Structure formats: structure tokens, C-alpha cells
């Protein structure tokens, strides 16, 4: 068969399969809807994880050390220590918050303002906010913390990593959950498409048998059904993307409000190219594979019998 004829046959099968879908709009809509919903769920989990990672990134400053100087440490000593630390490897920046600046900041809150007014002097120490270099792991951070703690005139070193670590653990869990959901629901899509194609094969059994008797190869018989599976996968993927986009649009404002309450400018991650490619690729692959399995199973019954 020449390349031109083969190409023409593929084009005929591709359009023929599309025509078959339009001839049964209700059945097509139901199948595509189930596929769309099944694909949207893991994609939504993926977007949720991306949003969470973005949140964790926004709160990266939670890695900062708060180095509280001992009470009554003079300001020049705190300034000297800040200069020394800025020169050290493994430290990105050091910000000095003087005791006066800290008490002024605290005084802006009416609750604390009354309490501070009742005190005779400033109870707050000078504080150095030390930001470690990016990419330091837990062990390195622990070592730095110990070194800072051992510095003369330092009273307390505080590193509040715990909740960021918890958030990352939750995100890892959700990411894993997303993969499991993707595999399970991808399998479900494969079964849905396979079953739909199987029903279609049943209505075209005679045509297939006649074609085989007239010398049709398995690929000739399989081709229109593979295109049918691909169309199901494509339309299911597009519906999944639409469901996802609408869901993200609906969730965008509440998430932004929630983030504002926590002092963050966090926004829901959108349907990026990566997600779109994964949903499209997954849908097409599941549609194609489901069709392949359904047709192959049928064709195995049409082999010459011994």
C-alpha cells in the first residue's frame, strides 16, 4: 500500500470515528463525561500540590533564625556580631532589630501596648534575624543553630522549621496520593473506553468478520476503533481541563482571602502547560490502550481454528 493511500485511509478512519461519535450524542456525552471527571481528579490534586509548594516557597523566610541577644547586651556589641555574621559562609543576610524597634513594633498592637506600658523598662533584647543560605539541609541548619547558640552574648537561638516541614510532608503525601489516583483513574478510563469500544464492536461484529474473511489485517480492523478511543480520550481530556479551569476559577477568590488572613499573597496555581500535557497525554493514552485491548480481545476469537 502506498504512503498516500495509507494516509488517506487513516484520514478516513479518523473522520469516520468522529462521525460515529456524533451519531450517538447521548452515549458519547456520558462516556466523555465519565472520562473527564476521572481525569480531572488527579489533575486537581496535582494543582493543589503545586499551590501548596508555592505556599511553602512563599513562607521560605520561616527558615530564618531569630538570634536573641542576652538582656543588657549593648547595641554596639549586637551591631558587631551582625557584621561578623554577614561575612560568614552559609549566611545570606542578617537583619538587626534593636530592642527599641522591637518594642515600638509590639506597641502598635493595643493588646501588647497596655502590657508594655505597665512595665518599667524595655524587656525585649536586641535580635538578629539570620537568613541561612538557600539549599541548606536540616543537618546544616542544626549545626549553624548550635554555632550561633555558642556565640558569646547570645541568649537564645530560635528556628521554627517544624510547621514548614509538616506542610512539605503533607504536600509529599498529596503528591503521592495524586499519582495513585492518576494510575487508578487512568485504569478506570482505560476500562471505560475498552467497554464502550467493546459495545461498539458488538454492533459491528458482522462487518469485522466479513472484513477478516475478505483478507483484512488486524491493523485494518483495529484502526477505526483506535481512532474512536483516541477521540474519547481527547474529548475526555478537554472536558477534564474545562472542569479543572472552572473549579480553579471558583476556588481562586476564597483561597486568596484565606491567604490574606495569613499575611500571604498566595494564589491558586493555574492549569499550566505541564498539567494540560499530562491530562491530554493520559487521556489519549488511556483511550488508545482501552480500544487496543477491546479490539485485540475480539480479534483473538477470529483466528483460524486448529
Partner 1 sequence: MIRFENVSKRYDGAREALSNVSIEVAAGELAFLTGRSGAGKSTVLKLVALIERPTRGQVIVGGRPLARLGYRDVPAYRQQIGMVFQDNRLLNDRSAYENVALPLIISGTGEREIGRRTRAALDQVGLLDREKYPPRALSAGEQQRLSIARAIVSHPKVLIADEPTGNLDPDLSLEIMNLFRRLNEVGVTMLIASHDLPLVERFGSRRIVLSGGQVSGSESTAQTTGAGK
Q: What residue ranges bind partner 1 (CB under 8 A)?
A: 1-2, 4-6, 8-9, 206-207, 209-217, 220, 303-306
Are 252 and 272 contacting, i.e. CB atoms less than 8 angstroms apart?
A: no
Could you tell me the smallest distance in angstroms from the CB atom of residue 256 to partner 1? 56
Could you tell me the smallest distance in angstroms from the CB atom of residue 177 to partner 1? 44
Radius of gyration of the chain (CA): 32
CA–CA dist 69, 151 (Å, integer): 10
User: Torsion angle of alpha carbons 33, 36, 38, 39, nearest 10°?
Assistant: 170
Could you tell me the smallest distance in angstroms from the CB atom of residue 272 to partner 1? 43
Between residues 89 and 206, which has the closer beta carbon with respect to partner 1? 206
Say if residue 42 is exposed, middle or buried (CB neighbours under 10 Å; 0-12, 13-18, 19+): buried
Could you tell me the smallest distance in angstroms from the CB atom of residue 204 to partner 1? 9
Between residues 134 and 214, which has the closer beta carbon with respect to partner 1? 214
Q: Which residue has the cell 537561638?
A: 157
CA–CA dist 248, 229 (Å, integer): 28
Between residues 5 and 117, which has the closer beta carbon with respect to partner 1? 5
Between residues 119 and 210, which has the closer beta carbon with respect to partner 1? 210
Could you tell me the smallest distance in angstroms from the CB atom of residue 29 to partner 1? 23
Between residues 77 and 212, which has the closer beta carbon with respect to partner 1? 212
Amino acid at each position: 500500500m502506498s504512503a498516500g493511500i495509507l494516509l488517506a485511509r487513516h484520514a478516513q478512519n479518523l473522520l469516520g470515528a468522529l462521525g460515529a461519535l456524533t451519531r450517538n450524542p447521548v452515549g458519547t456525552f456520558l462516556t466523555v463525561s465519565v472520562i473527564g471527571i476521572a481525569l480531572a481528579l488527579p489533575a486537581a490534586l496535582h494543582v493543589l500540590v503545586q499551590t501548596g509548594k508555592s505556599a511553602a516557597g512563599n513562607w521560605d523566610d520561616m527558615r530564618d533564625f531569630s538570634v536573641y541577644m542576652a538582656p543588657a547586651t549593648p547595641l554596639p556589641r549586637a551591631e558587631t556580631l551582625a557584621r561578623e555574621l554577614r561575612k560568614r559562609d552559609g549566611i545570606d543576610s542578617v537583619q538587626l532589630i534593636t530592642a527599641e524597634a522591637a518594642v515600638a513594633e509590639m506597641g502598635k498592637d493595643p493588646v501588647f501596648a497596655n502590657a508594655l506600658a505597665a512595665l518599667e523598662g524595655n524587656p525585649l533584647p536586641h535580635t538578629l534575624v539570620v537568613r541561612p543560605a538557600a539549599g541548606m539541609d536540616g543537618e546544616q541548619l542544626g549545626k549553624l543553630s548550635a554555632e550561633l547558640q555558642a556565640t558569646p552574648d547570645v541568649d537564645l537561638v530560635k528556628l521554627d522549621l517544624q510547621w514548614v516541614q509538616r506542610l512539605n510532608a503533607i504536600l509529599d503525601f498529596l503528591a503521592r496520593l495524586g499519582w495513585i489516583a492518576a494510575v487508578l483513574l487512568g485504569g478506570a478510563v482505560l476500562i471505560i473506553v475498552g467497554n464502550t469500544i467493546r459495545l461498539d464492536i458488538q454492533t459491528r461484529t458482522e462487518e469485522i468478520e466479513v472484513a477478516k474473511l475478505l483478507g483484512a489485517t488486524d491493523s485494518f480492523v483495529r484502526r477505526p476503533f483506535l481512532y474512536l478511543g483516541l477521540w474519547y480520550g481527547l474529548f475526555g481530556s478537554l472536558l477534564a481541563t474545562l472542569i479543572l479551569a472552572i473549579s480553579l476559577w471558583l476556588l481562586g477568590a476564597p483561597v486568596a482571602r484565606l491567604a490574606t488572613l495569613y499575611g500571604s499573597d498566595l494564589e491558586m496555581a493555574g492549569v499550566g502547560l505541564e498539567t494540560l500535557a499530562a491530562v491530554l497525554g493520559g487521556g489519549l493514552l488511556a483511550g488508545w490502550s482501552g480500544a487496543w485491548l477491546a479490539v485485540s480481545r475480539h480479534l483473538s476469537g477470529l483466528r483460524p481454528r486448529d
